[in-house]
Structure 1
């Protein structure tokens, strides 16, 4: 019996990136389907989050995400460009956000086709894996192709069906909060949320209790 779960994911979240490849490996090894549920990052949902956070927060987060990547052997680098347009000095988030709105709508369009998780991993490897100008040229077209998708089709849908996609993205966040959490990455399995890239083994343990089988 195929087990199912939802992964709440942000394309701007380094920890989402550090989890998605490991969840992809799980669906390839086990009789398991994980549906991607993209959400807007904190910088969109709470624009003042970075301005009011503790001064040590940013430095520690960079230290931690680098060592997590090293520990798991995951390629990692600062996004070029950052999916969020933000003043580095003041941490103020700009009103106009072309990168994150496009990539999140693309992710939701991919999720509609049942290929969101793979697309998120492929795109994440560009954004957080060191690709310069990940939003330009044929980078995203290649990511879409590797996920079995067509970027031109996704981009057209992201424009033509913008309002419906953004409603679905907002619904994803509402579903996450109703399930008992608010942050990403969070895997939701049978109503139980597992927040963070450090809860993947625990999520697998729970699934094994529910009969998770290798393919």
Structure 2
């Protein structure tokens, strides 16, 4: 299985002004934007770390997920949440020939933790030996204001730690407070989405 991020988070979607306010950086100076590059890198790193620990995509982007087999013939849990739409499903054989599956044969079962690709006609298309299924989907919250407040706070706290300790000579910036903020969003993956 492989999850590929098809589109990056756009710089315009990042909450740079809110993060600057969180850090209480001064404004009104001629060089207000001088730290924007460093702030953006800290935010991007914090977003990636929080997303990796929670399985939540915080800002909308497109993904392609490749899998070599279904956990269940009638549905397949997707690796991240929230998934807002399924874009495509195709079956690729071992020589690379792809068959696009009619969208009428599957649908998205939305869930805040384990969204699923569900067959509408009983079973999902068979994946051939040495082949794979490629599922294109869009995931994430539409805007920063839609991100749950505790996740947003965790991102800002982590980004602030990364910003303040950008020389790399400090203790672990992933504090217990951040772990507490994200705890309810962590997914228990005991069966990988199988029933």
TM-score bracket for this pair, using the shorter chain length: under 0.3
* TM-score (norm: length of structure 2): 0.26
Which structure has more relative contact order (CA 8 Å, sep 6+)? It is 1
Q: Judging by fraction of residues, say which structure has more helix.
A: 1
Q: Judging by fraction of residues, say which structure has more strand.
A: 2
